[in-house]
Amino acid sequence: MNLSQLNRTLLQVLLLPVAALLIIAAVFVWQIVSAVHTVERIQHADRNISYSVAIMLHLTEQETALRGYQITGNEIFLQPYTFAEQPLQRGFAALRTGLSALHESTQIVDRINADNQAYRKEIAEPLIAAVRAGEYTSDPGLNLREKARMDYLVRETRTLTLSQRDVRDQAVADFHTTVRHTIEASIGLAIAIGLMVGVFSRGQLRAVSTAFQTAVEALRRNALEASDSEQRLRTVLTSIADGVIVCDRDGRVEMLNTVAQELTGYSQAQSLRRPLDEILPLLHEETKAPVSSLNITAHEYGSFAGSLSYALLRKQDELTKTLLEYSVSPIFDNHHRPAGAVIVFRDITEQRQTQHALLASEKLAVAGRLAATIAHEIHNPLDAVINLLYLLRNNPAPEEQREFLDMASNELDRVAQISRAMLGMYRESKIPVAVEMTSLLRSLLLLLDHHLEQAGVTVETRLLPEATIMGYPAELRQVFTNLLTNALDVSPRGSKLIVSMDASSDPEGVMITVEDSGPGIPAEVLAHLFQPFFTTKGEQGTGLGLWVSRGIVEKHRGHVDIETSMEKDQHGTKLIVTLPAARTS
């Protein structure tokens, strides 16, 4: 039974008693409404009886008053007769309304009212007029007619009263029957519904119990599997060659693997729940300032995930420092909320030393390739200066002296320019500085001018008037020296070397292209072109130039792209270096 089925079963078990109670409530409401209607009939019947009794009393008082006035002739005895008219009319109207409420005919009321009006008009009023006129009114026949008419009215009123009593008695009997039926129906429904709910709930709860036991067993198996999985995970983490530290969302250490314990000098017990900066104290590689970016907080996760950084690890003796390459990756819970972080790091001290050695080797190779060119470039203007000095010693004319001095000054300026360009190759900078790329490229082309002339290759430049970025000038000179000399080596005599510069997609960045007219690069060579120690120059190459150059460009947050073609009419290679304006670190 899955969660949906369990919820549906529990809902059924809950709703069935509710539905049963609603049915019982509906029966009760129906019976109560019926009882209310019966009580209303009883109340109407009681009021009708009261109205009919009052009418009969007024009729009797009316007859008694008329008879007393007939005997005595005194007007006082006539007052009940006079006062009875309005109560009788109100009683007839109320009785008519009461009978209508019981859906019974009101004809008997109208008949009694009409007979009463006839009695007053035909018997009572003539009799009163005769008494007032002093006429003889003791006629037995008249008295008998008067009595018979009044007896008839009283009898009709009594008949109406008795019929309303019958209605009341029947309503009372109906009420008792309704109450009895209500009790019987309630008991019957309660028993039936109770049995039905009990049977249904028993079956459903048995199914839930079975499902619960199955779920408990599954949870037990899952717990065992999770424990085994956790043990395997710890074994894997322990076996990883890199250091691994797991911390919570507050930056407190939860676990270290064996390599991390060896590198930090802290055991699992010593580091548990301690701040990460205490267990992994890092320093900036160049400034030696403490690195506090590993204090993991929720809003920093996006900037840390997966990015590689470099820092020095300060050991507990405060003297030993190890260069680390590390990355921080966030851990999220089931609701994608930050729950912690994993820090993976490794010792790259020897690797960095090897890289520095390779870089130094490549620099020496570049310097060696340029040494002969520089010596030749300096030797030519020096020879010219020596010749000019010889001419000056022979006392030429003043005009010739000035001309010779200007020519000597120009040649010495060229020597100074070449010397400054050479010195710039090895002026290292510890932090990024502003580098004017147009001047840098022009100075490199000046150094290569002799080689270009000997190779019979012309250079076409399409440089921007000014293109300044932030970077390391000596390293950038090394990059473009490698690219220019490589392009020169593959360019046939009489071909053209194009050095162009365009603005990159970064508004303040620059894209520099070195395009040769060489034979192009085969696909099998292109795949290995940036691998260290791979060269196509035999003993003349180190195989480090392009590999080092790409590393320097990537250090500047840039990238190197290659476009090459081996077609007969359109062959050559383009190396495109894109350098962004963002400040490098």
| pLDDT at residue 576 in the model | 92
The two most distant CA atoms of the chain are separated, in Å, by 197
Mean pLDDT of the 146-166 span:
82
Question: What are 144's strand-pairing partners?
Answer: none
| pLDDT at residue 429 in the model | 60
**Model confidence over 460-519: pLDDT tens digits?**
999 998 888 888 887 888 788 888 888 888 899 989 999 999 876 655 579 999 999 888
SS3 (DSSP) at 195 = helix
Contact criterion met (CB below 8 Å) for 584 and 558: no
Of residues 555, 87, 8, the one with CA closest to residue 286: 555
**Model confidence over 370-418: pLDDT tens digits?**
555 566 556 656 766 776 786 778 777 888 778 778 777 866 776 776 6
Mean pLDDT of the 233-254 span:
79
CA angle 148, 149, 153 (to 5 degrees): 115
Angle, helices 398-424/437-447, rounded to nearest 10 degrees: 110
Please identify which residue in the block is written with the tokens 């180190």.
Answer: 542
Q: What mean pLDDT is reported for the chain?
A: 78
How far apart CA 395 and CA 391 sit, in angstroms, is 7
Per the structure block, which two tokens stand in for 557? Answer: 């947050």
Query: Is residue 12's pLDDT more than 90?
Result: no
Percentage with pLDDT > 90 across the chain: 5
Mean pLDDT of the 107-134 span:
84
How far apart CA 23 and CA 32 sit, in angstroms, is 14
Contacts of 18 (CB under 8 A, 6+ apart): none
H-state helical runs in 102-136: 107-119, 125-133
Question: What are 471's strand-pairing partners?
Answer: 433
Contacts of 343 (CB under 8 A, 6+ apart): 244, 245, 246, 247, 276, 280, 294, 326, 327, 328
Of residues 145, 164, 206, 176, the one with CA closest to residue 9: 206
Question: Where are the strands (E) in 359-473, listed by range?
Answer: 433-436, 458-462, 468-471
Q: Which amino acid is at 566?
A: M
Query: Is residue 360's pLDDT more than 80?
Result: no
In the structure, what pLDDT confidence band is assigned to residue 309 with cuts at 50, 70 and 90? confident
